[in-house]
A and B are shown apart, each in its own frame.
Chain A
């Protein structure tokens, strides 16, 4: 990217910016097609054949077929679009959120009931260790 955006240092976050908008268009428009009941059925009947209708890259295709939710975001997927694949599978937003954050469903649900993921130590990539973050604050 020719432009550095000041949100790039937020950890575990894939902002749907112009770059992702460019590389992810076909993937997301495939997801959009799943708003129609007949398309959901066609996709479930033969996923590979249905995907042939869209100009996905091999890696985008793999992430869809393998339900690699995090991988989809890395190849331009937008969560509001990719979630439609999950709806086809009968999954919820919380199921997918758990899978993206790499923890079992129950662990994720428990974290949310306890007030969610804390922003402490999760604001900056370089400060995934919260200590470093504190040091930066102290320098100010």
Chain B
């Protein structure tokens, strides 16, 4: 049987990927951020999962405004790296896990989550930056990846509560997959940031800290945060944090925080990395 062993919350700032691709991680600006990633890489290498479900949003790369899926799952064998307007990132192509992905698609739809299914799609920094952050720069990614996209570009994104319930349904779906697989789930994006308008650059450390604390203390309370509260308190793009609830919902209620890193700034953003582990067989 497949099982979810851990969750990773990770910001997906494009500049973090650029810093890695250009070999700038040791500069005075980037060093404090990257130093905090090292323990997570060690932990993940040791855990050696078979598959990662990466919950992220596409940023006008694979999908445009032509068709806007609220929740989408990629079922392909291989996902090329998108050209987002400055050439594709020089990172390995992402390999999928079609049988688990199709099982998830079927299970989720029958569990009343009406997923869009993508047989062909490229993946952008929303997915590849968290991979780079947690795996470094290998010549091939060390596990299979199932992309799960959430719309946060066209208002409104799905609510935090809905995302949490999707996570719970993902946990049920993974548990009913017959093959023995160890799965991790990433919730990406955030934390506080605003990329647009006169208010660009907004950061709210207090909000972010409380959010990180409550991922273990009281995750359900976090699902009640409204979109307006995210935008007002954590910046217009801070609403990306709804994607973390998919990850959190997929873990056990008593999942434990085993690592946290928080740094301001990564370009315009408060960047965080948190690892949560499932503890019991609950």
Neighbouring A residues of B197 by C-beta, 8 Å: 12-14, 70, 73, 100-101
Known: A12-B197, A25-B65, A123-B232. A115 touches B264 (CB 8 A): yes
Contact A12 B198 (CB under 8 A): yes
Contact A111 B201 (CB under 8 A): yes
Q: How far is the CA of A66 from the CA of B84 in the complex (A)?
A: 22
Neighbouring B residues of A32 by C-beta, 8 Å: 60, 64-65
Known: A16-B155, A78-B153, A116-B264. A101 touches B201 (CB 8 A): yes
Interface size on B, residues (CB 8 A): 43
Neighbouring A residues of B203 by C-beta, 8 Å: 112, 115-118
Neighbouring A residues of B61 by C-beta, 8 Å: 35
Neighbouring A residues of B202 by C-beta, 8 Å: 116-119, 122
Chain B CB within 10 A, most for which of A10, A28, A119: A119
B25 CB, nearest partner CB in chain A, Å? 17
Query: Is B66 located at the chain interface by the 8 A CB criterion?
Result: yes
Q: How far is the CA of A7 from the CA of B207 in the complex (A)?
A: 18
Contact B198 A81 (CB under 8 A): no
Which of B129-137, B141-149, B176-184, B265-273 is found at the contact surface with chain A? B265-273
Q: Can you list, as one digit per residue, whether each of A39-83 has a CB less than 8 Å from chain B (1) or not (0)?
A: 010000000000000000000000000000010010000111101
Query: Is A102 located at the chain interface by the 8 A CB criterion?
Result: yes
Neighbouring A residues of B107 by C-beta, 8 Å: none
Contact A123 B233 (CB under 8 A): yes
Query: Is B23 located at the chain interface by the 8 A CB criterion?
Result: no
Contact B153 A80 (CB under 8 A): yes
Contact A83 B198 (CB under 8 A): no
Neighbouring B residues of A25 by C-beta, 8 Å: 65
Q: How far is the CA of A106 from the CA of B217 in the complex (A)?
A: 40
The dominant DSSP class at the B interface is: loop
A136 CB, nearest partner CB in chain B, Å? 13
Neighbouring A residues of B268 by C-beta, 8 Å: 93-94, 97, 112, 116
Q: How far is the CA of A97 from the CA of B235 in the complex (A)?
A: 13
Nearest chain B residue, comparing its CB with the CB of A7: B228
Neighbouring A residues of B228 by C-beta, 8 Å: 5-7, 10
Tell me the B residues contacting A by CB distance below 8 Å: 14-15, 59-61, 64-66, 82-87, 153-156, 192, 194-205, 207, 227-228, 231-233, 236, 264-265, 267-268, 270
Q: List 29 A-B contacts (CB under 8 A).
A: A10-B231, A12-B197, A13-B197, A14-B236, A15-B236, A25-B65, A29-B64, A29-B65, A36-B83, A40-B85, A70-B197, A78-B65, A80-B153, A88-B85, A92-B267, A93-B15, A94-B268, A97-B200, A100-B196, A101-B198, A112-B268, A115-B203, A115-B264, A116-B264, A116-B268, A117-B201, A117-B203, A119-B204, A122-B199
For the complex of A and B, 3 pairs with smallest distance between CB atoms: A116-B203, A12-B198, A12-B199
Tell me the A residues contacting B by CB distance below 8 Å: 5-7, 10-18, 21, 25, 28-29, 31-32, 34-37, 40, 70, 73, 78-81, 83-84, 87-88, 92-94, 97-98, 100-102, 108, 111-113, 115-119, 122-124
